[in-house]
Amino acid sequence: MLKITDLSATVGEDSEAKTILNGLSLDVPAGEVHAIMGPNGAGKSTLSYVLTGRSGYEVTGGSATLNGEDILGMDPEERAAKGMFLSFQYPVEIPGVPVMTFVRTAMNAQRKARGEAEISAPDFIKKSRDVAKMLNLDAEMLKRPVNVGFSGGEKKRLEIYQMMMLEPKFLILDETDSGLDIDALKTVADGVNAMRDPSRGMLVITHYQRLLDYIKPDKVHVLAKGRIIKTGEADLALRLEKEGYDGVLGEAA
């Protein structure tokens, strides 16, 4: 599925370019959920931006492929069309644009990039209704402008709605759990668990072990100093929660 080999990347303008990723390697096979944990400033968000092609980041070495296809050479729209999806750490408000319009536009952009026809209005409405029902989302909420006046929990459910509508092939959640109460956390976890699929891979970036009580990862990786310094099973997250990062950093050094 996702294969990252020796990836290095910088951020910032040429003269002040700063190396953030430094020889990072990581494999996420189809059907698996991998967690990435690591100290603040380790490069976790940078990794998600480099994978989705955000501007301002330059790849200086290594490779990343999705199902064998080089993704680093693709523009962000092509990557989205291939099914890469990055959740937002801080959801943006889009005044004047209803949720359904926003999601339908995103779906059609994805289809267009794949050379597929737009989804018909009745098909879209049926799918939207099915997903909303599954998530216990009020249909009225989908007619309101994106995130405007939504509670933290509502924003999260909306993000899961978007995810389920777009049916990404590879999902990256970057600290989607920051600042969530327990109910919103469960919403996120239920959504992610519902999207587990033998053909789909997921990367869950988190600071806190508690999300992993609800989303059981197949592997836990520690990202520090721009690379993966340790990989373990789910219990590694518990150990990090107890001991902090000093122990694994010491072992790696």
Q: Which residues in this chain contact ligand ADP in the complex, by CB under 6 A?
A: 11-12, 18, 20, 38, 40-46, 56
Looking at the Cβ atoms of 56 and 244, the one nearer to ligand ADP is: 56
Interface with Mg ion, residue 208, by CB under 5 A: no
User: How many Å apart are CA 232 and CA 219, to the nearest integer?
Assistant: 6
Residue 42 Cβ vs ligand ADP, minimum distance, rounded to whole Å: 4
Helix axis angle, 152-166 to 99-113, nearest 10°: 30
Looking at the Cβ atoms of 38 and 91, the one nearer to ligand ADP is: 38
Residue 62 Cβ vs ligand ADP, minimum distance, rounded to whole Å: 16
- Nearest alpha carbon to residue 155 among 118, 127, 183: 183
Looking at the Cβ atoms of 19 and 45, the one nearer to Mg ion is: 45
Both tokens of 157, joined, read 């459910």
Question: Angle at Cα 87 formed by Cα 67 and Cα 145, nearest 5°?
Answer: 130
24 touches 223 (CB < 8 A): yes
Looking at the Cβ atoms of 38 and 217, the one nearer to ligand ADP is: 38
3-class DSSP assignment, residue 183: helix
Label the pairing between strands 33-37 and 57-66: unpaired
Residue 11 binds: one of ligand ADP, Mg ion, none (C-beta under 5 to 8 A by kind): ligand ADP
User: How many Å apart are CA 65 and CA 5, to the nearest integer?
Assistant: 9
Looking at the Cβ atoms of 9 and 66, the one nearer to ligand ADP is: 9
Residue 43 binds: one of Mg ion, ligand ADP, none (C-beta under 5 to 8 A by kind): ligand ADP
Residue 183 Cβ vs ligand ADP, minimum distance, rounded to whole Å: 25
Number of residues that bind Mg ion (CB under 5 A): 3
Residue 207 Cβ vs ligand ADP, minimum distance, rounded to whole Å: 8
- Nearest alpha carbon to residue 87 among 13, 9, 180, 10: 180
User: How many Å apart are CA 110 and CA 40, to the nearest integer?
Assistant: 33
Both tokens of 40, joined, read 């603040």
Looking at the Cβ atoms of 18 and 216, the one nearer to ligand ADP is: 18
Residue 12 binds: one of ligand ADP, Mg ion, none (C-beta under 5 to 8 A by kind): ligand ADP
Interface with Mg ion, residue 45, by CB under 5 A: yes
Residue 48 Cβ vs Mg ion, minimum distance, rounded to whole Å: 8
Phi, psi torsion values for 167, nearest 5 degrees = 45, 60
Residue 45 Cβ vs Mg ion, minimum distance, rounded to whole Å: 3
**Residues pairing with 131 in the sheet:** none
Residues that bind Mg ion (CB under 5 A): 40, 44-45
